[in-house]
Structure 1
Amino acid sequence: MRLPILTSFATTAALLVSACGSSPATGQAADPAPVSSRCNAAPAQFAVGRNADAALENEARTRAGAKAVRVLRPNQVVTMEFNAERLNLTVDDAGRVTRVSCG
């Protein structure tokens, strides 16, 4: 009684595993290399001394080539994980950018 169930299970598992290992057909090009969205803070340094608002955040993010931007306010709790695609704008109590960095 158990043998047909185990055989069926083994066959299903083998089919699932083999489906995961497929490769492109001969003659097809592999996926192109992904476009880098790594942040470069240097072009966004223009923001230092300016008030952080949505327009400034967007322009700084675009110039830095970052996918995301976050504004870091004084005494704000933030995550410390590094994200090479994120631009950080550190602001003072008045909302003026004091530092531009990636991560």
Structure 2
Amino acid sequence: MIRLALPLIALAVAGCKSEARPQVPAPAVPGVECNSNGLESLIGRTRSAETTAEAKRLSGANVVRYLTPGMMVTMEFRADRLNLHLGTDGKIGSARCG
């Protein structure tokens, strides 16, 4: 009897599981697009307020996101965002829009 009851209880509990709502990405600012051309001057620099301000000015991006090795990130594309990839030494190794 217990052998029959346990699977039924497991099915009943699994049936109560609610679906997770997908996260809606923040909307990009209309008319603002990132341009990653000409950002070579940022390579080798460290994260700072000055670097962020210069990255925004050079790229036209509204948002700058620093990515560290192994960091989990969302994969949605944002035309107004600049991603600065940091190496294990904390220095910028590459810059990409999105």
Query: TM-score higher than 0.5 here?
Result: yes
Higher deviation after alignment, 38-47 or 91-100: 38-47
Deviations, residues 7-58 of structure 1 (Å, cap 9, x unaligned)? xxxxxxxxxxxxxxxxxxxxxxxxxxx9731000113231011112121011
In structure 2, what residue type is equivalent to 1:65?
A: G
Unaligned runs of 5+ residues in structure 2 are 1-28
Q: How many aligned residue pairs are there?
A: 70
- In the alignment, the residues of structure 2 paired with residue 35 and residue 75 of structure 1 have an alpha-carbon distance, to the nearest angstrom, of 31
Point out 4+ residue stretches in structure 1 off by more than 3 angstroms.
Answer: none
The structure with the largest alpha-carbon Rg is: 1
1:86 aligned onto 2:81? yes
Q: CA RMSD in A?
A: 1.6
- In the alignment, the residues of structure 2 paired with residue 102 and residue 84 of structure 1 have an alpha-carbon distance, to the nearest angstrom, of 7
Question: Higher helix share goes to which structure?
Answer: 1
- In the alignment, the residues of structure 2 paired with residue 35 and residue 84 of structure 1 have an alpha-carbon distance, to the nearest angstrom, of 9
* CA 1:36–1:45: 2 relative to 1, 3 Å: farther
User: What's the TM-score once normalised by structure 2's chain length?
Assistant: 0.65
1:54 paired residue number: 49
- In the alignment, the residues of structure 2 paired with residue 74 and residue 82 of structure 1 have an alpha-carbon distance, to the nearest angstrom, of 19
SS state of the match for residue 44, structure 2?
A: coil
Unaligned runs of 5+ residues in structure 1 are 1-33
